[in-house]
Amino acid sequence: MPPVRVLIVDDSAVVRKLLCEALANNAAVTVAGTASNGTIALAKIPQLNPDVITLDIEMPGLNGIQTLVEIRKLYPKLPVIMCSTLTERGAAITLEALSAGASDYVTKPSNSESLRSALEQLRQELVAKILGLTNRFTPAVSLLARAPLKKKPSGQPIGILAIGASTGGPNALGEVIPHLPADFPVPVVIVQHMPPVFTRLLADRLNSCSPLSVREGEAGKLLEPGQVWIAPGNYHMTVARRGTAAVLNLNQEPPENSCRPAVDVLFRSVAQTYGASVLAVVMTGMGSDGARGALHIRDGGGGILVQDEATSIVWGMPGSVVEAGVVDKICPLTEISQEIVRRVAFSRTRVSGVTAAQPI
């Protein structure tokens, strides 16, 4: 199989060199060319026929967003990875780029990092995303044993909704969360793989267009109906019992699946705290984070939905849950919110007098 051809677009010669070095010495990837601005990039695409584009956000002339809009008009399926700074402005523009059709993003190394460690981190992250977006990523051999589906105990109302997502997740969440009704009767906890600042701005963006309250997770907060909590970047988020209630906890224990926050960590905690009252959803994302946690939820009698392959940017995470054999239903993105609402409502009305599900 020929290597993935990458076009690097950045107005900084230093960053172009850094990105070229990050992709060097990898037989699966080759730099097809570089461009110093959006106009040159648009001219080079038909000449170089790249498989992936890395695109700087802030450039003179056509900026990254404007260039992305033009790319999407001409090449709607060409993967584009935005290169962002780890700042509030960089995060805000990156979310705008994702809404405009960017496939994913990487953050540029900061001046505080050593060049060697920054280059290695960028190499690992960028190569994985390039290969994932072009279906060249070879996942590790699955250690998940197929588990027999356990029947959910009849009459058990759903008491919490837990969602995991990664690549393509911000847009997928933007399709699901705003369509949950204002009287949604259970709390929602979410892990979206993103760094600090990005998760807070994502919560703000979803809050502005949702009938529910969407906030970044805070330690000690009580879980109440109609609240949506997104795990902060660089922190695992868990739920735990406090008397008859449940609260959020945050920690910086080691990453799992190379992620912090990790979906598996959240899913394990909701399974332990809520048992059969969990409804989990795994959406678009690279890798297999969430699959082991889904096994815990299934073992506890909870339900699991996943996004289908056709509407996922990358079907790694939902696909790994399907492979584990613990999925109740596979849904197109546009049908996930209505399936959630239907299942929650049905679980809570089939038992007369049920008003809330308590943590176990």
Which residues are marked as active site?
A: 166, 193, 289
Per-residue HEC secondary structure of 304-346 comes to EEEECCCCCCCEHHHHHHHHHCCCCEEECHHHHHHHHHHHHHH
**Listed residue (28, 289, 44) closest to 169, CA to CA:** 289
| Beta-ladder partners of 84 | 107
Angle between helical axes of 169-176 and 333-349 (0-180°, round to 10): 50
Write down the H helix ranges in 100-219. Answer: 115-133, 169-176, 198-208
CB under 8 Å, gap of 24 or more: what pairs does 200-204 form? 200/232, 201/88, 201/91, 201/92, 201/95, 202/95, 202/170, 202/173, 202/230, 203/228, 203/230
**Structure letter (DSSP) for residue 177:** G
CA distances from 247 to 71, 127, 216, 224, 277 (A): 45, 38, 14, 9, 16
